[in-house]
Amino acid sequence: MSKEPAIRAEFYRVLTNSAKIGVSLGDYKISNVAVEYPVDGKKADLVVFRRFSQQPDYTFLVIETKGRHIYPALSLARGTKQAMNYAKKLNSNFFAIYDGWNFLLFKMSYPYLIKLSNFLHIDESIARNLLLGLLEFYQTGHNTQTLERLPKIPDGWSFQQTILPSIAKSLASITAPEQADNWKVLKSQWFPIIQSDGAW
C-alpha cells in the first residue's frame, strides 16, 4: 500500500510542473498549485488556482489524497467529504479525491460527479489533460475530449458496487442529510459516467 505523503508529493510535483510549462485556454490559465493549503485551522492537501486575464488567482480545484488501500471505499468516501468541505470554504469550482490509484473528480453543483479515472503512475501528461480538461469543462459545462484522455477505471461494474455508494452517502451528509439513500438518487445520474469511464 502506498503512503499518503508520497502520493500527495508526486501529484503536487506533476501538477506544478504542468502549471509551470503552461496550461491555458483563452484568457484562463492555471496559475499556481499549493500543497497543504490552510483552511480554517486544517490543511487541504492540494489546491489548484486559476487566473482570468490580469485578475487575482481564484481557487479552482481542491484535491484530497489518501493512502492506497485494498478496500478503498471508506477512505475514498471520507476523503471526498473532506475535499467537498474544503472546496466549499475556499469557494472552489471543483474538488477531487486520489488514492494513488482511483481518481474521482466532482463539480460543486448537482449531480457532482464529473469523471472517474484510474492512474497508478501519474505523470505530467495526465496532469496536463486533467487541468486543461477542467478549464474546458469550466467554460463549456460538459466533459471534453481532453478529460476523456484520462485513463479509464479497469472495472466499472465493481466500482459502482463497492465505491460509489459510499461516496454518495458521504456527499449526502453535506448536501442532503435528510436523504435516506442518496445512492438511489444519484445512481441514475452517475451511471452514464460510470459506463463511459469504466471498462465492462
DSSP collapsed to 3 states, 71-113? CCHHHHHHHHHHHHHHHHHHCCCEEEEECCCEEEEEECCCCCE
**Domain ranges in the chain?**
4-153
pLDDT at position 112, please? 96
Q: pLDDT category, 68, cuts 50, 70, 90?
A: confident
DSSP string of 165-180, one letter each residue: HHHHHHHHHHH-TT-S
Binned at pLDDT 50, 70 and 90, residue 167 comes out as very high
Model pLDDT for residues 142-155, shown as the tens digit of each residue:
888 999 999 999 98
Please state, in angstroms and rounded to a whole number, the distance separating the CA atoms of residues 189 and 179: 16
Other CB atoms within a 10 A radius of the CB of residue 144 amount to 16
CB atoms near residue 200 (< 10 Å): 8
More confident residue, 2 or 130: 130
- Is the Cβ–Cβ distance between 52 and 31 less than 8 Å? no
* Nine cell digits for residue 127: 496532469
Q: Which CATH architecture has domain 4-153?
A: Alpha-Beta Complex (3.90)
For residue 71, the model assigns a pLDDT of: 83
